[in-house]
């Protein structure tokens, strides 16, 4: 008998571990912390992608990530701010998330939603993401996610003051 793994809440004071796996028929990614899964993604491959090598499968559909990986593997100093070590690409110490990846929306959701403290606003979610991850267009992605999230649209109040009539200033004497 097996049991279903429970997803844990992220602790922003602890390091994250990303585990990936690519087989001939599927891809899998798990974001873990303290040995417990936080977010996971698995995807089966179609027949045309099953013939690719493991490395091609991992970066299939993302030419910029492939180029970055090759560049960092051959000449590490050619991409300022990027490092490649033990199969992980980082930008300024933050984990690089490739563009053709459903993990982005799951990470945004994970950093936005908290069962203990409710839903964080756009700026808080973006800042939490920036602390650990990097991808171009992260802010726009977070804004788009929150724009589509029904709970946030209904419950988040507009933070700007409502306009009032202008009142004339007193004339100095």
Return the H-helix or E-strand segment holding 90: strand 88-91
Q: What is the pLDDT of residue 142?
A: 84
Q: What is the pLDDT of residues 93-145, one digit of tens each?
A: 998 888 766 788 888 888 877 655 556 777 888 888 888 899 888 888 888 88
Residue 18 pLDDT class (50, 70, 90 cuts): confident
What is the DSSP annotation of 117-170? TEE--HHHHHHHHHHHEE-TTHHHHHHHHHHH-HHHHHHPPP-SPPP----PPP
Can you tell me the distance from the alpha carbon of 18 to that of 30, in angstroms, rounded to the nearest whole number? 6
Can you tell me the distance from the alpha carbon of 84 to that of 72, in angstroms, rounded to the nearest whole number? 6
Beta bridge partners of 84: 89
What ranges do the domains of the chain cover?
102-156
Q: What is the dihedral of CA 127, 129, 131, 134, to 10 degrees?
A: -120
Can you tell me the distance from the alpha carbon of 63 to that of 73, in angstroms, rounded to the nearest whole number? 15
Report whether 90 contacts 79 (CB < 8 A): no
Q: What is the pLDDT of residue 52?
A: 62
50 or 125, higher pLDDT: 125
Q: What is the pLDDT of residue 11?
A: 82
Average pLDDT over residues 163-167: 71
pTM metric for this prediction: 0.57
| Region for residue 29 given its phi and psi (left: phi exceeds 0; alpha: psi -120 to 50; beta: otherwise) | beta
Q: What is the pLDDT of residue 1?
A: 45
Three-state SS at 114: strand
């Amino acid at each position: 008998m097996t049991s279903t793994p429970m997803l844990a809440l992220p602790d922003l004071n602890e390091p994250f571990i990303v585990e990936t796996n690519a087989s001939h028929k599927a891809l899998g990614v798990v974001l873990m912390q303290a040995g417990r899964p936080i977010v996971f993604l698995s995807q089966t491959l179609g027949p045309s992608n099953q013939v690719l090598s493991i490395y091609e499968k991992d970066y299939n559909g993302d030419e910029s990530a492939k180029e970055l990986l090759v560049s960092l593997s051959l000449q590490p100093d050619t991409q300022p701010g990027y490092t490649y070590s033990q199969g992980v690409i980082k930008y300024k110490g933050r984990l690089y998330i490739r563009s053709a990846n459903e993990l982005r929306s799951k990470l945004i959701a994970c950093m936005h939603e908290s069962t203990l403290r409710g839903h964080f606003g756009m700026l808080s979610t973006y800042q939490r993401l920036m602390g650990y991850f990097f991808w171009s267009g992260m802010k726009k992605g977070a804004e788009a996610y929150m724009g589509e999230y029904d709970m946030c649209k209904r419950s988040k109040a507009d933070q700007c003051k409502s306009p009032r009539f202008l009142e004339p200033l007193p004339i100095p004497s």
